[in-house]
Structure 1
């Protein structure tokens, strides 16, 4: 058990170092990936019947998507930022419903949508 705790602490230090060194663009990528990871983990917990764990993981995904929504710059982003705001709002409402009704299909839907946004965001880095 102590080895597992030490490994988690080591991983956390690695993540913290990555965050410290990351560009703003990379931070958004990391957040999106974190959201996708939490949704996948929530689906796994749901399938195992670990409902408390599922709820905790959905809560983390909600926080991540809420954070992505909060950093939208509508003055600079214009219509694109407005569209993302509405999409993030939809994702949040869908995750809340997925959590309430234990609906794996709704988790999949949000993961697909967030994955598409991340793919577009990743493409910005490639184009730059």
Structure 2
């Protein structure tokens, strides 16, 4: 009558859930989720490294790098974002470089450093939404976050 638990089926449902939520959240929430994902992946990599799980460490550092590089960095509005966008771009490049070195050297201190750099930016990003009340402060005329217009 019912089939046994299938990881493939569960993954398919998870992908559908993620894709559906991507269409229903605003751009501000999306950036907040990217920060959360990067920080979570680094934390998981640190735990994997402490356990001696090399594959887990490598996979999670790679995940954090992809989030920073393909999500956060490419979303910066380098034309109209001004000095803030330039500074964030430099920060993201530095973080990516440090994560690559942390991976190669099994250096937990470098991963901690990246977390210490990203966490205040993520907290500041979340504060923008809280201070805006209706959620419009920090949002451009196109409805995109001011620093992340695509």
TM-score (norm 2): 0.78
Q: Secondary structure at the match of 1:90?
A: helix
State the distance in 1 between where 2:7 and 2:108 align: 29
State the distance in 2 between where 1:64 and 1:5 align: 24
Higher mean C-alpha displacement, 90-99 vs 66-75: 66-75
Higher mean C-alpha displacement, 15-24 vs 28-37: 15-24
Instruction: Tell me how far 1:17 sits from its aligned partner.
Output: 2.2
In the TM superposition, what are the counterparts of 1:68-107 in structure 2 within 5 Å?
Answer: 68-107=72-111
5+ unaligned residues in a row in structure 2: which ranges? 133-150
In the TM superposition, what are the counterparts of 1:15-34 in structure 2 within 5 Å?
Answer: 15-34=18-37
TM-score (norm 1): 0.90
Give the greater-gyration-radius structure (CA): 2
In the TM superposition, what are the counterparts of 1:1-128 in structure 2 within 5 Å?
Answer: 2=5, 6-67=9-70, 68-128=72-132
Q: How many residues align?
A: 128
RMSD of the alignment, in Å?
1.7
